[in-house]
Amino acid sequence: MPLWTGSGERILIGASGTTLVELAGKTIGIIGLGRIGLQTARIASAFGMHILAYGNHHREMDLPNFQWCDLNELMMLSDVVSLHCPLTKETEGIINSKNLSMMKPTAIIINTSRGKLVNNKDLADALNTGKIGGAGLDVLAVEPPEDSNPLLHAKNCIITPHIAWATKEARTKLLDIAVENIKAFIDSNPKNVIQ
């Protein structure tokens, strides 16, 4: 099955000449273990992966092969780094040349969280020089991307147009939540209030 990257390169999944990767026994590093990060950890656990997590709120986890660690350790040991943290002053640019230089040359970055967590130039440089193996990005710092974004032409980089949330079921759920919020507000019982 062919996939097309932003640079126009075609990747054949499972074709001769490409390497498929077994997830069992690999290590996933999850940056940000909130609701979505935790679900990612559970899925990774079901595939038999070792799980490293970095975040501000450590809690006991009932997952096999799980451990909290610092960011440097996570970057050095992970085969896959998946971003699930909010964008804050502390996390902006958390994926940068320093952290990328610690990674395995076969490692993959996945960002479905916030585009500005990644320094675009640093990631593109790491991909183009073979410092890391690949990147899968559903979010970019500027959307739609500007033509000058170096990730659009980076090697082994797949970019989707911020559609991880766009299933029919997810959109239906979002609309249902909006309707419930309006009903609750009209009934003087507001829900999901942002202050």
Q: What is the distance between the alpha carbons of residues 109 and 125, in angstroms, rounded to a whole number?
A: 13
The DSSP 8-state label assigned to residue 81 in this structure reads E
Phi/psi at 74 (5° precision): -60, -45
From the CB of residue 149, how many other CB atoms can be counted at a distance below 10 Å? 20
Look at strands 50-54 and 66-68 and give their pairing. Answer: parallel
**Contact (CB, 8 A) for 38 and 27:** no
- The structure tokens listed for 68 are 């909290």
Residues serving a catalytic function are 114, 143, 162
**Contact (CB, 8 A) for 102 and 81:** no
Q: Is 92 helix (H, G, I), strand (E, B) or coil?
A: coil
The DSSP 8-state label assigned to residue 55 in this structure reads -
Q: What is the distance between the alpha carbons of residues 135 and 183, in angstroms, rounded to a whole number?
A: 42
